[in-house]
Amino acid sequence: MSNQLPEANGFRIIGKVEDFTSFPASVTIDRDPYFIIQTACQEDAPQEYKLVSAICPHAGGVVRPWENELICPLHYWSFDPATGQSTNVPGEQLDCQPIQISDGQFIISAS
């Protein structure tokens, strides 16, 4: 990677990795709620992270972690945090994108 700031290369900084100690971790980007999800489940696998929107695709409720899912409290649609896909409404899903780590920071594509 070049010495330029990630923003100059089409990326956006979410925050320092060390500041997030448990997952899913709530973050706000441009006033919208998201979760940082840790997706690697095996001990020897590299950790992977995703940014998942907390806005329910049904009618805009804000989903919350509940046991191993994200649940919308308005009409109880549920979602797999690792993929964003609904677990009770086929074909529906939360917006989801990969997160990269650069220089100890979580970064996402700015596009």
Complex with ligand FES: residue 83 or 100, whichever CB lies closer? 83
64 binds ligand FES (CB under 6 A): no
Distances (CA, A) of 47 to 8, 39, 55, 81, 99: 26, 7, 25, 15, 11
Answer for which of 61, 65, 87, 93 binds ligand FES (CB under 6 A) is 61
Say how far apart CA 108 and CA 56 lie, in whole Å.
Answer: 21
Complex with ligand FES: residue 12 or 58, whichever CB lies closer? 58
- 25: tokens are 């971790």
∠ CA(31), CA(35), CA(41), 5° rounding? 165
User: Residue 21 CB, nearest distance to ligand FES (Å)?
Assistant: 28
Residues near ligand FES (CB under 6 A): 56, 58-61, 72, 74-75, 77
